[in-house]
Structure 1
Amino acid sequence: MSGTTDGTGDGTGDGTGETTSEGQDTAAGGGDGNTQYGRKKFSRSPGHFADRVTADGADGWPVAAGRYRLVVSRACPWASRALISRRLLGLEAALSLAVVDPIQDDRSWRFTLDPGGKDPVLGIRFLSEAYDARETGYPGGVSVPAVVDVPTGVLVTNDYQRITLDLVTEWTALHREGAPDLYPEALREEIDEVMEGVFRDVNNGVYRAGFATGQDEYEAAYRDVFRRLDELSRRLADRRYLVGDTITEADIRLFTTLVRFDAVYHGHFKCNRNKLTEDPVLWAYTRDLFQTPGFGDTVDFDHIKRHYYLVHTGINPTGVLPAGPDLSGWLAPHHREQLGGRPFGDGTPPGPPPAVEEVPPAGRP
């Protein structure tokens, strides 16, 4: 996520890599950072730093165990994609993890959750230091997810759309035994088509609604969100997963928005035609994924709520943090297994997360 913005231009909220209606790139990246909103229509741009970490090292960044550090916010849906993929593929030992504070200051993402307020591996206090090491004076947003080269401290990529696909297709030599194929070649065309609609109308649509600066703009985004959710609900009524009979990248990308829907998007972003819990199909589908190892064990509802409600001061100027919603329902039976499907295909579930990566009790149902 990139762009600390609140919709009023004071730089205290959420951007996620947006471009103004006049085409001026105001924040490159997939998540919250340092961008301010004016009175421009919200849209999202790709990551500014689009180098790839590949098996052949074509961009100068070869896959290597221990060389790179993945920097995420557990609040950010774009970063959560990478968290889930890394867990499912068993890359914890090969790609170390840094988790930033969900609350930003004027220098954006901070390592204040770590002892001394400094990342223990990179030795920096702010993710912006890795950006500066890559491009001095870079004017765009400081976004997550970000992959940083540990030996040099230089940002490699913040291309949130590509990072997870490369974890699946380029890091195969370091996958755990039994890792699932999250982007099977025979289904890629259909997966890409589904993901494009999910991205435009759901992942990005809730932001377009939440940061709309005019009624017509808001209502158009609102209609897109629920039109697409209704289509997805019909699609999932008689199939367990979005494409094929196993979990794919498409499910990961939809899950990261749905898991946040009632906690923040329904009220905070005014996507309030109905709650996720009021759509029996999507609610059961999301619970099914949440209860699948690698999904729910990466979700921190405390970080999610504190980021959205306390950082987006233009939307929530009082800074009051909602006490709800009740999280106990996330662990209720979903019965989606009756539809068949094999969550991991010919593979196996990941083991439990490393102890240092466990979500604290305050963030779990």
Structure 2
Amino acid sequence: MGMLIDGRWHDDADRSMQDGAYRRELSALPSRLDAAVVEALRETPEHFVLVVSFSCPWSHAVVLAWQLKGFAKRMPLQIAGGPRVQGYAIKPDGPLAKAGYRHVHGLYSATDPTYTGRATVPALWDEREKAVLSNSSEDILVALDKVGTGPSLFPDEHADDMAVFLPQLFDGLSNAVYRAGKAQRQDEYEEATRSVYAMLHTLEERLSSQTYLFGQAITAADLRLFATLVRYDTVYATHFRCTRYRLTDFLALWRFTRRIYQMPGVAETVDFDEIRRGYYLNDGSHNPFGLVADQPEIDWMDHSGL
């Protein structure tokens, strides 16, 4: 996957695979979203750039917040994607491309010339400081929620329950599909898929009796889950070999995902071509010939059962 070591890019460096098992590396970049930055996001969001990839589910949850909380016309996006030569490339359209940046890792080394770690997205870039303030999707989500418009995505009445639920969702599904897809040992693959299927059944039961994960109002937890489920049949049930089920096998999960997809502005954040290319073309060890599988035929705009 490659990473920066002392501010220099190394294509062959990767600390995420350990004895045939994928272990997501924690960010080495401190998050700097203090009260002053959050207030600046409220007053002058145009001074920041949200750097995201349309293939990445963690980016996707943040883009959904950017869309739903009223930032789409106030804070510019910089899209990163394409073949991962030196990690994520900065796509030609966007403010950072126009400023001369070509790879996301260039934003990290501009922030800290001695940075060692992965150059990940999403990232919040401060145009005035010329620095990445945070690459924590959680911190960026919370900040956008605090200063954006509309109902809170982190409602106080569900704060304690969400604090317990979100790590369970990450461990049981959102990161477990990666553990399955990147596994180099059969036992690691089987343990990861057991986790995935168990969580899918738990979520199916939960959403069979309510609209969203915490009742009738959408929260950040729903954005996280949607960002994983909308990719499930396209790449997780295929390329990541979570093959026992499809999303469409789960009545409540399929209804939930389709309902969010049909919300105003959400479909525009879903690029299935970029999702497929992002996974298939950038996983050489499991797809050495770089073939991109077909997109499943799914009617996302079907209103039956909603």
- So what's the TM-score if we normalise by structure 2? 0.89
Partner of 1:110: 89
Matching residue's letter, 1:333: H
Pairing 1:128–2:105 present? yes
Pick the structure with more helix per residue. 2
Partner of 1:150: 127
Inter-partner Cα distance in structure 1 for 2:224 and 2:256: 13
Partner of 2:262: 291
Partner of 1:229: 200
Alpha-carbon offset, residue 277 of structure 1: 1.1
Segments of 4+ moved more than 4 angstroms: none
Matching residue's letter, 1:271: C
Q: Is the 1:34–1:142 Cα contact (8 Å) retained in structure 2?
A: no
Deviates more, 1:134-143 or 1:222-231: 134-143
Q: Is the 1:66–1:93 Cα contact (8 Å) retained in structure 2?
A: no
Q: Is the 1:34–1:140 Cα contact (8 Å) retained in structure 2?
A: no
Inter-partner Cα distance in structure 1 for 2:24 and 2:18: 15
**Sequence identity percentage:** 32
Inter-partner Cα distance in structure 2 for 1:77 and 1:125: 22
- Secondary structure of the structure 1 residue equivalent to 2:78: strand
Partner of 1:49: 29
List runs of 5+ in structure 1 lacking aligned partners.
Answer: 5-10, 16-25, 27-32, 337-365
List runs of 5+ in structure 2 lacking aligned partners.
Answer: 6-11
Inter-partner Cα distance in structure 1 for 2:18 and 2:200: 29
Q: Is the 2:182–2:240 Cα contact (8 Å) retained in structure 1?
A: yes
Alpha-carbon offset, residue 109 of structure 1: 1.4
Task: Please report the RMSD computed on the Cα atoms of aligned residues, expressed in angstroms.
Answer: 2.3
Pick the structure with more strand per residue. 2
Partner of 1:355: none
Matching residue's letter, 2:97: D
Pairing 1:167–2:133 present? no
Inter-partner Cα distance in structure 2 for 1:237 and 1:144: 33
From 49, 66, 73, the counterpart of 2:53: 73
Matching residue's letter, 1:205: A
Matching residue's letter, 2:89: R
Alpha-carbon offset, residue 137 of structure 1: 3.5
- So what's the TM-score if we normalise by structure 1? 0.76
Alpha-carbon offset, residue 334 of structure 1: 4.3
From 14, 25, 33, the counterpart of 1:35: 14
Matching residue's letter, 1:224: S
Deviations, residues 32-84 of structure 1 (Å, cap 9, x unaligned): x97364635322244322323344349xx943322211100000001001100
Q: Is the 1:89–1:168 Cα contact (8 Å) retained in structure 2?
A: yes
Q: How does 1:1-365 map to 2 (within 5 A)?
A: 4=1, 11=2, 35=14, 37=17, 39-57=19-37, 62-63=40-41, 64-105=44-85, 107-114=86-93, 119-120=97-98, 122-169=99-146, 172=147, 175-176=148-149, 179-327=150-298, 329-336=299-306
